[in-house]
A and B are shown apart, each in its own frame.
Chain A
Amino acid sequence: MTVYESDLPGVGKKHEIELGGEERLVVVTHNTGKREVYRRADADADAEKLFELSDGLARTVGTVLEGAYFQPVATENIDTVLGGDALIEWYEVPEGSELAGETIAAADVRQRTGASIIAVEHDDEVTPNPDPGAGVRAGDTVVVIGSRAEVDAFNDAFIDPDAVGRSTDLGDAGGGPGAGDGDDADGGR
């Protein structure tokens, strides 16, 4: 596997990662910290944008992709604080949720809440990094990543609109690693 790095004057840096065959993953890191991720099917194809992430979110997702181990903590809602303001949270999608029976893209999850769904669990089958076109059904468990405000917004929009001042055992807003019952939630680093 080869990674090509090049400068984009005035914009940032570009990394191209060979995916096998002629296909490449292209990551554009803007000077502002924003990351855009593209896929290019072959040398002459136009790059197709997959998603973009803020600097902080990109680092967090990067950590997840790296295989760092996050210890889920059993609470009413399972959430994992990653340090900074970022956290990962597990939710079961209730009947009647706007997300139930919709695709992630159609429910406009990122635009509406700022949070991203990084995995969907249906029965025993887990889809990591689901396609925005992937459907979510009632009863599925979704794994959501974002800042606390974004994850709360996700909860309000799709899970439990009546939640007021939702409290979990884990950390007040900004609670650091190891908050709550002492489990090292910032695991693996």
Chain B
Amino acid sequence: MAAGPAVAGDLNGLLALGAVVAVAAAVAAAGRRVGIPSVPLYVLGGVLAGPSVAGAVGLPAIEPGELTTLAEVGVVLLLFFLGLEFSIDRLIAARRRLSGAAAVDLLVNFPVGVALGFLFGLGPLGAFLVGGIVYISSSAVITKSLVDLGWIADPEAEPVLGILVAEDLVVAVYLALAGALVVGGSPVDALPRIAVALGFLGAVALAAQLLAPRLAPLLGTSDEDVVVRTVAVALVVSGLALSVGASEAVAGFFVGVGVGATPLHDRVADRIAPLRDVFAVVFFAWVGLNTDVVAVAAVAVPVLVAAAVSGPAKVVSGTVGGRLYDLSPRRSLRTGLALVPRGEFSLIIAALATASPDPLISSVVPAFAVGYVLVMSFAGTVAMSEARRIERLVGLTPE
């Protein structure tokens, strides 16, 4: 595995990993002072350390290939945690109000993204991917902002977090489809792949549901056993998913659902969260390593057009969602503002797109996604912290 003794100007795998994580951490620390969320900054760190910036100025650049597997671990753990927090019971309990709010969210934002994709000339598959990138809000960025700004104690926290949970379920199905479609060929060629991918994920989902009660004893009792065995299950299942052409991320999600249904839920969440944090940074930075700044600059106009259209679209759909939760107009508007940031899932779709044999999709869509996530996570965070001003602007003031 080790790449042997380092040649001058060439980083061994360990040093490459360390350098990327260190740069990402430094950029995130710098950005946090001005209130920019960390997720896009980790990506930016990766961009700086990668071939397109460090390489271009003659510094030892880090090849993304070195970190691919570790980045995949990051994706699996990100989705594993979503699964862990995901509760079918909760979804059923909230279905009346949530299904309305979640449906509005999906039916407004996904088509807006698809239309943008067509507008940018990316074809049907490109439009499908841009649809996903534009539709899915960032659980990580939004949850953190809710806590930081204290909105977590306000009534809008329920619809916001509820819509995020519903999006998680949609993204699981979406990634399964997108993963099968991206590999190439006509949709008809993709049918068997879709069938295999959905079949495998169905089996994992069923196993998560049925085996959960028996899973807990198998995961052991000591913290060490629980962590090691849980990670083993998550990696084996997601690795198997990859090898049959299904999405490793979605498999990770269902393993999370299974473990989440056991009494070990809290302990696993507690012990594995630091692992997820580290590997998620590797993933975000890896997306950055793969990103060519020139390509991002080339899609600057589409990114800004997409931001100008899809930002307000989220605000509108979120506001309607808030109204469906019987919130006041002002609280509903906040629901909409809170849902604006896009982040990790849009990047996961971008990473997926790099596997496409179509050069238009494998280069333009990831560059678009990186630029779009940078803009939207920042704009969304600003929208939240400036909520009072925005409320006044549209004529809504607290009594």
Contact = CB atoms under 8 A, between A and B. Distances in A.
Interface of A: 6-11, 14, 26, 28, 30-32, 36, 38, 40, 42-49
Contact of B152 (A7, A14, A44, A48): A14
A40 B154 contact: yes
Contact of A36 (B143, B152, B266, B331): B152
B153 A28 contact: yes
Contacts of A30: 147
Nearest to B387: A46
Given A9-B164, A9-B165, A44 B150 contact: no
B161 interface: yes
A14 B153 contact: yes
B150 A9 contact: no
Contacts of B330: 44
B154 A11 contact: no
Nearest to A34: B147
B29 interface: no
Given A10-B143, A44-B330, A28 B152 contact: yes
Residue of B143, B152, B164 with highest tally of chain A CB at under 10 A: B152
Contacts of A48: 150
Contacts of B155: 43
A46 B85 contact: no
A86 B295 CA distance: 57
8 contacts: A8-B157, A9-B161, A10-B139, A11-B161, A14-B157, A28-B153, A36-B147, A46-B398
A30 B266 CA distance: 11
Contact of A47 (B139, B150, B162, B399): B150
A9 B162 contact: yes
Interface in B108-165: 139, 143, 146-147, 150-155, 157-158, 161-162, 164-165
Nearest to A32: B270
A40 B398 CA distance: 13
B69 interface: no
A11 B150 contact: no
B221 interface: no
Interface of B: 85-87, 90, 139, 143, 146-147, 150-155, 157-158, 161-162, 164-165, 266, 269-270, 328, 330-331, 398-399
Given A11-B146, A44-B330, A45-B398, A6 B152 contact: no
Contacts of B87: 9
Contacts of A9: 85-87, 90, 161-162, 164-165
A46 to B, nearest CB: 6
Nearest to A31: B269
Nearest to B269: A31
B39 to A, nearest CB: 15
A184 B129 CA distance: 66
A41 to B, nearest CB: 10
B90 A47 contact: no
Contacts of B154: 40, 46-47
Nearest to B154: A47
A185 B294 CA distance: 68
A70 B158 CA distance: 39
A47 B151 CA distance: 7
Most buried by B among A7, A28, A42, A49: A7
Given A26-B153, A38-B150, A47-B154, A10 B270 contact: no
Given A26-B153, A32-B270, A10 B399 contact: no
A98 B330 CA distance: 44
Contacts of B328: 43-44
A184 B228 CA distance: 42
Q: Which of A10, A31, A46 has most chain B Cβ within 10 Å?
A: A10
A49 B85 CA distance: 25
Contacts of A44: 328, 330-331, 398-399
Given A10-B85, A11-B147, 19 more contacts: A9-B85, A9-B161, A9-B164, A10-B164, A11-B143, A11-B161, A14-B152, A14-B157, A28-B152, A31-B269, A36-B152, A36-B153, A43-B328, A44-B330, A44-B399, A45-B398, A46-B150, A47-B150, A49-B150
A54 B41 CA distance: 29
A26 B154 CA distance: 9
Contacts of B165: 9
Contacts of A45: 398
Contacts of A7: 90
B152 A8 contact: yes
Contacts of A26: 153
A30 B157 CA distance: 14
The 4 closest A-B pairs by CB, nearest first: A47-B153, A38-B153, A26-B153, A10-B85
Nearest to B150: A49
Contacts of A11: 143, 146-147, 152, 157, 161
Contacts of B139: 10
